[in-house]
Structure 1
Amino acid sequence: MIQEWWGLTDHIRDVADRLAAEGFVALAPDLMGGWITHDGAEAAQMMSELPAEAGAQLLAGAVDYLQSLDAVTSEKVGTIGFCMGGGFVLALAAQQGEKIAAAVPFYGVGQAVPHSYTGVRARIQGHYAEADGFYPVEKARAQEQQIREESGADVTFYYYDAPHAFHNDENPVGNYRPEQARLAWSRAVDFLKQNVS
């Protein structure tokens, strides 16, 4: 599970706990080295200072670590991420190929969003906002089509009448939309259960 640009916040820890409660072995690597903020400008600066390659390498190590655990009985790994983490979800799927069985980006943005998806072998379920000021819905629709064309993977994006970060119930900007968040989460959990369990 890959964090938003705010760092490894209580919200992200709670989402990891929700995954664990659904029966998954959940791991939320800290891409920011313990740094947490609730200031948008500071978060944007920290995200810009995180090299996409370094983040992807750290996440590749997290995949290897998960696969080494006795509690992980499946060779299949799923990945889910939000905002910056959603961008890294797509990067990880493109980088790791067959190791990633399912990828779930929630409104993925940032420097890690790949230019090419030819390495993707995972099934992808995306959750994007129609009123997203960070990543306009037209770009999300184009991305969906690009992934499908370049990878041949099974790709489904859902679009919600909501702003960016609608899933984050602790969002300091106030974009949380409970109804859309519940629907997106139920779809994501069902998708992961079908493809990773």
Structure 2
Amino acid sequence: MKYLILTLSLLFVSQTVSAQDFALQQLEDSPRHQEWVEVKDGDRTIHSFVVYPEVSENAMAVIVIHENRGLTDWVRSFADQLAAEGYIAIAPDLLSQFDENYQRTRDFESSDAARDALYQLEPQRITQDLMAVQNYVTDLPAATGEVVVAGFCWGGSQSFRYATNADGLSAALVFYGSATTDEDRIRNISSPVYGFYGGDDQRINSTIPETSELMEKHDKTYIYNIYEGAGHGYMRTGDAPDAERANKTARDSSWEWIRDILSDL
């Protein structure tokens, strides 16, 4: 009986590891050029992951803002998927130089610790880091100078917030992130905002009507889709080999919309 329990335990661990490793495997199998870069902003360094598309002309760039667990392999794999579509993707680690002991996400002992640290960041610091990344990617020789921002969960909220601060964005893609209700900030938005939401995510979806009303009041473009049956984080969970059907369907449908949005910019 002990051997049976041990075998079942090892099988469970193996399946769990396999489920966690799918994103890393996607990165390792990618033919595209990937690199880590150090984006400088004064005395700060923002460690960022960049993936280049295999194209013959300059490409639009997309800043990918990670979830509340920091810059994970899945976020990097999403950047690679964007590059596969023909775009330069840059994913900054917003936990860069958190303190003397933690210089980036991978330095934290757990994803819970990374999450706790992330919520200690000052909003102005996040904005400054994203502006530095935008300036960096705008000036890349292989870039067109057009920049889109896209974020997930915590990063989705940051994507919306960054649209209220930044100049020169072509669009903001908000994946299941809440929006600011500060009308002065909303007035500052100069780019269209596109929202992607799971139907089973009322914590976030309950904020959509107020967001929509404020955006319409100030004549801002806010277009969104709610994907029936999908949960919070469906772009990540729907990417997994063992994804639930609703999350996978929402993820695939969202990719179709992403392609349409980016190709029309």
Superposition TM-score tier, normalisation by shorter sequence: 0.7 to 0.9
Cα pair 2:227 2:250 within 8 Å, conserved? yes
TM-score norm. by structure 2 comes to 0.64
Q: What's 2:224 paired with?
A: 157
Task: Measure how far apart 1:168 and its partner are.
Answer: 0.8
Report 1:1-197 matches (<5 A).
1-33=64-96, 34-36=104-106, 41-73=112-144, 75-97=145-167, 99-109=168-178, 113=180, 115=182, 116-132=185-201, 134-135=203-204, 137-150=205-218, 152-161=219-228, 162-169=230-237, 177-195=247-265
Cα pair 2:134 2:147 within 8 Å, conserved? yes
Distance 1:5 1:139 in 2: 19
Aligned residues: 187
Distance 1:86 1:193, change over 3 A: same
Distance 2:117 2:231 in 1: 22
Distance 1:134 1:46 in 2: 22
Task: Measure how far apart 1:44 and its partner are.
Answer: 4.2
* Structure 2 counterpart of 1:22, one-letter code: E
Structure of greater relative contact order (alpha carbons < 8 Å, 6+ residues apart): 1
Cα pair 2:181 2:211 within 8 Å, conserved? no
Match of 2:166, SS state, is helix
What does the per-residue CA deviation read over 1:64-95, in whole Å, with 9 as the maximum and x for residues that have no partner?
1111111112x321111101111111121111
What does the per-residue CA deviation read over 1:40-65, in whole Å, with 9 as the maximum and x for residues that have no partner?
75454223212221111100111111
Larger strand proportion, structure 1 or 2?
Answer: 2
Distance 1:138 1:40, change over 3 A: farther
What does the per-residue CA deviation read over 1:168-195, in whole Å, with 9 as the maximum and x for residues that have no partner?
1378xx8881011111122022202211
Cα pair 2:180 2:186 within 8 Å, conserved? no
* Structure 2 counterpart of 1:10, one-letter code: D
Higher Cα Rg: structure 1 or 2? Answer: 2
Cα pair 2:65 2:149 within 8 Å, conserved? yes
What does the per-residue CA deviation read over 1:101-134, in whole Å, with 9 as the maximum and x for residues that have no partner?
111000114xx84623111111111001232154
Distance 1:95 1:22 in 2: 27
Distance 1:40 1:13, change over 3 A: closer
State the 4+ residue runs in structure 1 displaced beyond 2 angstroms: 36-44, 112-116, 147-150
Distance 1:95 1:156 in 2: 19
Q: CA RMSD in A?
A: 2.4
TM-score norm. by structure 1 comes to 0.84
Q: Which runs of 5+ in 2 are unaligned?
A: 1-63, 97-103
